[in-house]
Amino acid sequence: MSTLILGLLTSLIVSFIATPYVKKLAESIGATDTPDQRKVHKRIMPRLGGLAIYLGYFVAFFIFVPFTTMKEMLGIFIGGTIVMATGMLDDKYQLSPKWKLMGQLLAAAVVVIPFGLKIGVVNLPYEGSIDFSSGWLLWLGVPITIFWIVGVTNAVNLIDGLDGLSAGVSAIATATMAIVALVMSGSGAAAHYDTIAIYCFVLLGAILGFLYFNFHPARIFMGDTGSLFLGFNLAALSIMGFKEALFVSFIIPIVVLGVPLWDTFFAIVRRIVNKKPISSPDKGHLHHCLLNMGLSHRATVLTIYMISIFFGTMAIVLTKTTKWTTIIVMVLLLFATHMATEIVGLVGRRHRPLINTYRKLKVKNADQRRSH
């Protein structure tokens, strides 16, 4: 436990001390974010803050993470460095989506192919299993893993729209993964899960050290340097912790990353419904919807924090439930998520099938009562 706390404090202190210097660096090289009609902030803000997160993580990683005994951890570090550098270039030079995607694919390919981080064995609910670690399925496991890493990386990037939002949600997801790893270390493979827990604490400290300067009103943005780096790490850690799991347990990382995946999925649905390109930006994300409902900037961020904590709590609970309890909980969670989507108008005010059906039934019942 002392290693976990020391790792967290080391990365937190380094990140905290580094952030003001990174702010000055961003201003001096012109790595700034200019307001426009799609953005919420009203003044030019320095970005590149993810570099401070990376510096805190970098120092603590080499002191506390036993990467020499687990090659996947070194792969995550190298891949994270690649995607962080991609984000730095974008914060300074505004890279095209094609080049950003290439940097993400390179980072994912590095951690998957030479360092072997990929989906392993998935045990099915009744009998048998799907083994992605051998035979022809080995080659299917590689693209699926790369797709997951790139998808989650971009999902975290997409929610980076308010002061402290992406950093806070990432911190909650990282803390959840750390707790899940500690819980699972007691049920076997202790060394494996202890290493994951140490890594999570190191990453969490680096995020918290930066979040002090990033929470509303922010003094610096993390930029793509931070959001891509954190998204990559969360994606890789989710596979690291659950690459060999029961079928129902395999959904735990999806629940942990519930907020960014939820927002991204319905952003895609929204753009398809409105016949717009999937990659086109808009102001229909979860934080935009909550702001439109009248919540303040800070209240919106805190509300999404609470939703993230709810998802994280559910993920921790799912590690100790039976198969059928897990399935029931997931069905209820999906229903609640869909209802929340309709209430806040995440797809659009006109696209609320469940609410509209309920209203029609309510009107129909009222008409029937009047007729009698």
| pLDDT, position 46 | 92
- 113-132, pLDDT tens digit by residue? 999 888 776 655 555 567 67
- 9-61, pLDDT tens digit by residue? 999 999 999 999 999 999 999 988 877 665 565 678 899 999 999 999 999 99
| pLDDT, position 215 | 93
| pLDDT, position 306 | 94
What is 239-268 written as a DSSP string? HHHHSSEETTGGGHHHHHTHHHHHHHHHHH
Give the pTM. 0.90
CA distances (Å), origin 131, targets 108, 115, 253: 21, 18, 19
User: 71-93 vs 97-112: helix axis angle to the nearest 10?
Assistant: 170
| pLDDT, position 360 | 76
| pLDDT, position 295 | 92
Whether 149 and 276 have beta carbons less than 8 Å apart is answered as no
Whether 13 and 209 have beta carbons less than 8 Å apart is answered as yes
Q: Work out the percent of the chain whose per-residue pLDDT is above 90.
A: 45
| pLDDT, position 359 | 78
Q: Rounded distance, CA 349 to CA 346, Å?
A: 8
| pLDDT, position 308 | 92
| pLDDT, position 139 | 78
* Residue 93 one-letter amino acid: Y
Per 3-state DSSP, the chain is made up of helix, strand and coil in percentages (nearest 5) of 70, 5, 25
Which tokens in the block code for residue 226?
């931070």
Does the N-terminal peptide bond of residue 217 adopt cis geometry, omega within 30 degrees of 0? yes
Which tokens in the block code for residue 229?
């780096």
Which residues constitute the domain of residue 249?
Answer: 2-371
| pLDDT, position 124 | 57
* Residue 146 one-letter amino acid: I
How many residues comprise the chain?
A: 372
- 163-174, pLDDT tens digit by residue? 999 999 999 999
Q: Residue 318: which residues within 8 A CB-CB, separation 6 or more?
A: 248, 249, 251, 252, 255, 326, 329
Domain count for the chain: 1
| pLDDT, position 37 | 61
| pLDDT, position 246 | 44
- Is 33 flagged in the annotation as binding? no
Identify the segments of the chain with pLDDT beneath 50: 246-248
* Closest CA relative to residue 302, chosen from 163, 174, 173: 163
* Closest CA relative to residue 156, chosen from 265, 261, 280: 261
Whether 204 and 171 have beta carbons less than 8 Å apart is answered as yes
DSSP 218: P
- Is 224 flagged in the annotation as binding? yes
- 347-372, pLDDT tens digit by residue? 877 777 777 777 777 777 766 777 76
